[in-house]
């Protein structure tokens, strides 16, 4: 921690439960003791990750009897919101930097090259930047493997390895470590107890959402409670299409669960024509209880890629999609037509689940080998589970995935190495304006 405290740039990598949040709490308190007026911002690539970061920090600081805590940050931001994303780009940049002294970014493995560059460009020259993440997770969907490259680049990295969340010998923790180490047989063996037999996984998929279905049915005017219940369980798929893909799972679960959440005589039930087509089913309708995930940023509305909402009636009985993130923890309501680029969220890909954790998790792999299923994908999926994990995969598909470790070879790591070598050899040429965004991170 002392090394991070005295650096302008630090990278802290570790798996779930290794103490990243605790480390940040001690860092921030130490900075605030030095300078109580220090301006601190907390951010993450997605709204869900930012909210989870704040929840974790609140839990860590409950009952904290430290005068420095008075100046504790009150909210977390998405990076797009922090940078002032708009139709013309970002409001903050090199000529108009952010007004802050310390920035902590969680889930930094989700950073792509373009967003990382915008972030570095917007930092004041004197600011401290701390990136938190897990270098063994999937890289960003877009170009670049910024966090992994930075972790491989040198002395500004702190690697946390001791797991405090899961006790020694706990199945999920052992499984994650076997996967991280590339021990294929040990990982496959460790996964065996998590796999339900036959088609019982489909029953588990429905049962996993029982708490949410009951919350919607019993308290349809409590969106915060419904969202909390929904976030306890999730289904992750490797593929979007196919028998075990996101699209089919969402359709099937909608048909199974939507009718259970509607009050008697609901006017939101779909109009059926006798056709077996999905277009005449619940899957083409807005219905009470429909969970959705936002697919693109809409800064004007304060909705960002990855935000999760639940569909419930407002006080007038009109359907609205409710999202967290309002003032003082309030829920925000939007007409369904306002929600940008969304899809139903009973099931999602592991990329979409980054920045989230769930008490219970069901992971579905395809029945045939796929280039999508890699060691990083499996590790990312497994580490989304906090308490219970169910796993459905043919052993051959699982073993092929564990052997397929994919690392992007971006230019960022080489750029940092060249600049460090130039500095150590006494060269003074500054990096060009076209260099990678981490040129400030020596």
Reported as type and span, the H/E element at residue 402 is: helix 395-403
Do 33 and 4 meet the contact criterion of CB atoms below 8 Å apart? Answer: no
- Examine the pLDDT at 440 and tell me if it is beyond 50: no
Confidence of residue 41 (pLDDT cuts 50, 70, 90): very high
Locate 376 and state its tokens. Answer: 């990083």
Cα end-to-end distance, the chain, whole Å: 18
Query: Which of 49-53, 117-121, 417-421 comes out lowest in average pLDDT?
Result: 417-421
pLDDT band per the 50, 70, 90 thresholds, residue 93: very high
Under the banding of pLDDT at 50, 70 and 90, the label for residue 439 is very low
Q: Helices 184-191 and 171-181: crossing angle, nearest 10°?
A: 150
Query: Considering the chain, what percentage of its residues have pLDDT values greater than 90?
Result: 39
Tell me what pLDDT residue 280 has: 41
Please tell me the number of Cα atoms within 13 Å of 204 on its side-chain side. Answer: 21
Helix (H, G, I), strand (E, B) or coil at 356: coil
| Residue 388, strand partner residues | 360
Domain ranges of the chain: 2-165+410-440, 196-364
Check pLDDT > 50 for residue 2: yes
Predicted confidence (pLDDT) at residue 261 exceeds the cutoff of 90: yes
pLDDT for 224-255, tens place per residue? 999 999 999 999 999 999 989 999 999 999 99
Place of tokens 């917007």: 122
What Å distances lie between residue 344 and 232, 292, 312, 348, 415, CA to CA? Answer: 16, 4, 14, 9, 41
Q: Among residues 173, 132, 152, 112, which one has the least CA distance to residue 379?
A: 173
Per-residue pLDDT band at 74 (split at 50, 70, 90): confident
**Count of beta carbons in the 10 Å neighbourhood of residue 411:** 13
Burial class (CB in 10 A: 0-12, 13-18, 19+), 340: middle
In the CATH scheme, what is the code of domain 196-364?
3.40.50
3-state SS assignment for residue 190: helix
How much is the CA Rg of the chain, to the nearest whole Å?
23
**Span 137-172, pLDDT tens digits:** 887 776 667 888 888 876 788 888 776 665 555 678
φ/ψ (deg, to 5) at 12: -120, 115
Q: What is the pLDDT of residues 277-297, one digit of tens each?
A: 433 466 667 899 999 999 888
Q: How confident is the model at residue 39 (pLDDT cuts 50, 70, 90)?
A: very high
pLDDT above 70 covers a percentage of the chain that reads: 79
When pLDDT is cut at 50, 70 and 90, the band that residue 84 belongs to is very high
- In this structure, are residues 42 and 108 in contact, taking their beta carbons and an 8 Å threshold? no
CB of 379 within 8 A of CB of 387? no
- CATH class label, 2-165+410-440: alpha beta
Give the three-state DSSP class for 93: strand
Average pLDDT, the chain: 82
Vertex 309: Cα angle to 308 and 315 (nearest 5): 165
Query: In which order are the strands placed within the sheet that holds 332-334?
Result: 332-334, 319-323, 308-313, 291-294, 342-344
Same topology for domains 2-165+410-440 and 196-364, yes or no? yes
Q: What is the pLDDT of residue 271?
A: 44
**Between 184 and 433, where is the model more confident?**
184
- How far is 146 from 408, CA to CA, in rounded Å? 10
Does pLDDT of 442 surpass 50? no
In degrees, to the nearest 5, what angle opens at C-alpha 186 toward C-alphas 180 and 187? Answer: 50
> Has residue 268 got a pLDDT over 80?
no
Comparing 5-9, 68-72, 212-216, 354-358, the range with the smallest average pLDDT is 68-72
Give the pLDDT score at 240: 93
DSSP, res 439? G
pLDDT in tens, 374-431: 999 999 999 999 889 988 888 888 889 888 876 655 555 555 555 545 545 554 443 3
Q: Which residue has the tokens 């969304």?
A: 342
C-alpha to C-alpha distance for 194 and 236, rounded to whole angstroms: 15
Question: Closest Cα to residue 135, out of 102, 111, 118, 117?
Answer: 111
Q: What is the pLDDT of residue 6?
A: 77
Q: For the ranges 129-133, 203-207, 269-273, 322-326, which has the lowest average pLDDT?
A: 269-273
Q: At what angle do helices 200-207 and 246-257 cross, to 10 degrees?
A: 60
């Amino acid at each position: 921690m002392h090394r991070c405290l005295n650096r302008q740039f630090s990278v802290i990598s570790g798996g779930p439960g290794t103490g990243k949040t605790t480390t940040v709490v001690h860092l921030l308190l130490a900075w605030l003791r030095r300078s109580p007026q220090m301006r601190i911002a907390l951010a993450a690539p997605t709204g869900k990750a930012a909210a989870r970061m704040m929840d974790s920090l609140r839990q860590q600081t409950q009952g904290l009897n430290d005068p420095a805590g008075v100046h504790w940050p009150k909210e977390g931001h998405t990076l797009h919101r922090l940078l002032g994303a708009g139709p013309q780009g970002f409001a903050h940049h090199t000529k108009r930097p952010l007004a802050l002294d310390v920035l902590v970014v969680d889930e930094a493995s989700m950073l792509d090259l373009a967003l990382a560059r915008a972030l570095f460009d917007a930092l004041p020259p004197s600011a401290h930047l701390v990136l938190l993440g897990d270098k063994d997770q999937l890289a960003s969907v877009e170009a670049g493997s910024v966090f992994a490259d930075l972790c491989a680049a040198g002395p500004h990295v702190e690697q946390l390895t001791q797991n405090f969340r899961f006790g020694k010998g706990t199945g999920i923790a052992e499984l994650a470590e076997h996967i991280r180490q590339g021990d294929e047989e040990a990982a496959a063996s460790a996964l065996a107890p998590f796999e339900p037999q036959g088609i019982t996984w489909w029953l588990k998929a429905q049962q996993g959402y029982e708490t949410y279905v009951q919350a919607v049915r019993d308290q349809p005017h409590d969106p915060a409670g419904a969202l909390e219940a929904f976030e306890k369980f999730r289904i992750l798929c490797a593929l979007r299409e196919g028998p075990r893909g996101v699209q089919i799972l969402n359709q099937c679960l909608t048909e199974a669960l939507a009718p259970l959440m509607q009050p008697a005589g609901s006017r939101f039930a779909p109009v059926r024509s006798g056709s077996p087509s999905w277009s005449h089913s619940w899957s083409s309708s807005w219905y009470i209880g429909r969970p959705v995930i936002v697919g693109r940023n809409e800064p004007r509305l304060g909705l960002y890629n990855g935000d999760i909402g639940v569909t419930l009636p407002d006080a007038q009985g009109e359907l609205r999609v409710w999202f967290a993130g309002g003032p003082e923890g309030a829920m925000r309501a939007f007409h369904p037509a306002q929600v940008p680029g969304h899809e139903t969220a009973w099931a999602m890909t592991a990329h979409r689940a980054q920045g989230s954790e769930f008490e219970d998790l069901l992971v579905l792999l395809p029945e045939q080998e796929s280039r999508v299923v890699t060691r990083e994908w499996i590790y990312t999926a497994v580490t989304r589970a906090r308490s219970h994990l169910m796993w459905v995969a043919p052993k051959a598909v699982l073993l092929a995935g564990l052997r397929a470790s994919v690392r992007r070879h971006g230019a960022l790591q080489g750029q940092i190495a060249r600049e460090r070598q130039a500095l150590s050899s006494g060269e003074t040429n500054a990096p060009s304006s076209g260099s990678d965004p981490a040129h400030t991170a020596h």
